[in-house]
Structure formats: structure tokens, C-alpha cells
Amino acid sequence: MTKNSQPPIECGYCHRTFQRRRPNGRIPKYCSARCRSASYRGRNAPSPRHDYDADVERLSRALLGKTQALHHAATHRTVDLPLDVVERCVALRRELEDFTVVAVCQARGDGATVPQLAKIMYIAPSTVRANFTAEKADKALAGRAARGPARPPCRPAALQGDSRPTGIKKKRVLLPGDPGYALSRALSHLRRGKPDLTVQEIATWSAVSPSYVYRILSGERAPTWEVTRAFACACDADPDDLVFLWNQARGITLAPMDIPTYGQAVRTLQAALRGLCLAASAPDAAALAQRASASLTQRTAEALLAPDPPPPHALRWPVVNALTTALGGDTHAIEQLHRRIDELTTHTALPAEGFG
């Protein structure tokens, strides 16, 4: 090789080698303008379809849980934990960053182009190509799997004021978004509604110890259905209103065949909404209508939460969705119950008396 000769360069598109035409300046990446244009078109084209649908759904649920936890921490501030809200903001930001990377990859797999994504994200197309790739999404998902489930923040050592050995594991307290949180809140509300009923009496009704009742109310223990039903009966409440919350705490999903009739599907949906109402400390219908969208009125909220069957217009999904959101419930789980009503509506004949 002579002094002025240049080593061959591999084209970034067709991978053929070529000689550099100019001895000075930037080293070319492509052998011709055609290869450069083809490479740019490929970079702007939608990415190959990756199955990120389940990941997006799972991350959205985690994001919702952390948002609810942040709201709870902001509205129930603890002076001894001055960094609690800030720590939850940082955790929420990291959750949102992971979610954004995976959501962008899902959008590219569905046909979105880089210029379209750059326009709605207010960033340069080169930033989209560099920071929102399938490799980045897989790395974020792998990092989340390595971190494991989130844990609530611990009280700072300087503020604990106790002398427990460091090897003793602290009890985990349920937070908004945890599976058993709504059930614990509902049982606590029933207990507060009966100030004359002692914990000892509830324990006698439920055939458990008083200390176990305290653990149920604090969320440290997940009660069996027998204990949950006895607890509700002791507080003069309907145990059916706690079925949905108990299933959520246990990770149980009703199959469509478990609800065979239209009337049973409506009663199951109403009981689930009443359970969410108990978990939200039973706000009145007027307050729910104010915090919900225009689809929900005070009258429809009262009809859905009443023991009697509601009118058909109150069972429309926008109305049920607005009430579920106002109660802070899981709209996805309620939608599964509402979908069963729609399925049975198409197969249920109207009774003869309905025609006069």
C-alpha cells in the first residue's frame, strides 16, 4: 500500500467495498447516492412487528398503580417522611420512561413512521431513531425484570426511633394499586361504620383472633372468603358486595360461563360497584357526579349503586366507566363484567309482558 492509497471502505447499505474518492474530508458511509437514499428510507420505515402489546398493557397498569400511590402520598402526607412524595415522583418518571420506549416501539410496529413520532413527541427524528429502538425497549424490560416488584419506601433510620435488630424484616403495608388494597379499605370502612362493634366481637363472628382482625384491617393479611363473609355479616353488610374485591385480592377472574344469565350479570356488576364504593369510603352520589365526566349524573350513580336493577341507560359503558373512574376502581376489570352484560343482551329475549 502506497503512502497516498486509502484502505477500502464497506458500504453501510449494500456492504460492498469501495475506494474513497477524496483524500480529505468526512469518510463516506455509502458507495453511492442510491445506497444512501435507500438506507434513509429504511430508517424511516416502520419497524418489524414486535409483540409489545402485553408489555404495554402491563406497564400501563404499573404506571396507574404508581400514580395512585403518588396521589395517596400527596394527600396523606407524613411529616416524618419528607422525601416520600419526591421518591414516588422519581419512581413514576422512571416508569413513564420505560413505558414511552415500549409504546413507541409498539407504534412503529403498527405502522407509525419516524417523522410522525418525532412530530408528536417534539423531538428530532434522529433522537427517535437513537433512543426508541427495539434494543432499548428490550433492555428496559429486562431491567425491570431484574429489579423485581416495587417496594414501599422505608422510614429513614434517623427517624425510626426504635431499637429493633436490623435483621428483622419489616411488615409490608399495602399501597393503592396493590391487589388487596381495595378489600382492606372496604373492610376498614365497614368497621368504622359500626363504632359500637368491638374488634373482639368481629373476631368472634369470624372465628379468628382479634390480632388477626387487626392484621386484616391494616392489610398485612389476606382473609379467606369465610372470614370476609363473616366480617361483612358482623357489620350488617352484604357479603356479595365484597366478592369482586376479594377476587381481585386473590387474582381470580370470573369466566363468562360463571355468569349464565343477564340478571345475574347485572347484579354482579352492581355488587362490584358497591364494593368499590365501600373501598372509597362510600362517597355520596352527588360527590361522585361532580368528580366524574358528564356521562354520569347523580341519578344514574344512585341507580347503579342501588340494590334494585338500574334502568337500561344507566348500564351503558360510558356511564359505568365514569362511575368506576370516580370510585378509583380498575376500569379494565369492570369492563370484563360489563362485556358479559352486552353478550347476554344480544342473546336474551324480551319477556312477553314487555310488549304489553
Full DSSP string of 247-258: HHHHT----GGG
- Structural domain contains residue 215: yes
pLDDT band at 178 (very low <50, low <70, confident <90, very high): confident
pLDDT band at 85 (very low <50, low <70, confident <90, very high): confident
- Structural domain contains residue 27: yes
**pTM exceeds 0.85, yes or no:** no
Q: CB burial class (10 A; 0-12, 13-18, 19+) of residue 354?
A: exposed
Q: Does 139 share its domain with 101?
A: yes
Query: Does pLDDT of 43 surpass 70?
Result: no
- Structural domain contains residue 356: no
Query: Does pLDDT of 350 surpass 50?
Result: no
Q: Does 272 share its domain with 209?
A: no
Lowest mean pLDDT among 184-188, 219-223, 270-274, 303-307: 219-223
The residue-averaged pLDDT of 45-54 equals 64
Q: Does 283 share its domain with 205?
A: no
Q: Does 84 share its domain with 22?
A: no
Phi-psi region of 347 (alpha: psi -120 to 50; beta: other; left: phi over 0): alpha
**pLDDT given for residue 269 in this prediction:** 93
Query: Which of 154-163, 217-226, 289-298, 335-344 holds the top average pLDDT?
Result: 335-344
pLDDT digits (tens, 9 = 90+) for 308-340: 999 999 999 999 999 998 888 888 889 989 998
Query: Does pLDDT of 242 surpass 90?
Result: yes
- Structural domain contains residue 246: no
pLDDT digits (tens, 9 = 90+) for 244-289: 999 888 888 777 777 888 889 999 999 999 999 999 889 988 888 8
- Structural domain contains residue 165: no
Q: Does 277 share its domain with 321?
A: yes
- Structural domain contains residue 241: no
Q: Report the domain count for the chain.
A: 4
Domain boundary (100, 129, 146) is at: 146
- Structural domain contains residue 163: no
> How many other CB atoms are found less than 10 A from the CB of residue 194?
14
Query: Which of 87-91, 149-153, 178-182, 197-201 holds the top average pLDDT?
Result: 197-201
Domain boundary (97, 124, 146) is at: 146
Q: Does 91 share its domain with 27?
A: no
Q: Would you say 27 and 9 are in contact if contact means Cβ atoms under 8 Å apart?
A: yes
Grid cell for residue 318:
360510558
**Domain ranges, residue 225:** 181-236
Q: Does 37 share its domain with 95?
A: no
Q: Does 30 share its domain with 93?
A: no
